[in-house]
Structure 1
């Protein structure tokens, strides 16, 4: 079993996100549809692109210029310290309050 993250919409148009443990991406899509959602994005949990997308999606409409400057500075510090991108984003995600 593999872990997949998803972003989907409800019949009302609300965006929902979640995680599923299934054998493959096709089964993840089937499971999301069985829940009555319309899948927009499905990616493996260890997929860096998926992590970045989820991180910024979670901050949508709540991010200020100061938050962006702080995030960019902190990301730069972690990358300069030779942290891998996925680990750096994970650390910053854990520290994010909004």
Structure 2
């Protein structure tokens, strides 16, 4: 049984909108993580907030990658949608490791 084109278009639009919203939220938190720089050696709270935001982005991006996989397998979205969670995962891992703020 084949799917109707209108149902496929609607599923593509809904899944694309949900993934876009998720990516925008992740982008906001990775922006916060990269903008958080400690004022001095006593400012461990800012480092903790940066690490928390990066960890949140990592978890959210992994969830978005799984949702993207499901949408691509259902043929609602194209494979190019994998790029966004991959970039966000890379940015979060870099902020947690090599680019972590230092005290």
Q: TM-score, normalised by structure 1?
A: 0.25
**CA radius of gyration, larger in:** 2
Higher strand proportion (structure 1 or 2): 1
Using structure 2 for the length normalisation, give the TM-score.
0.24
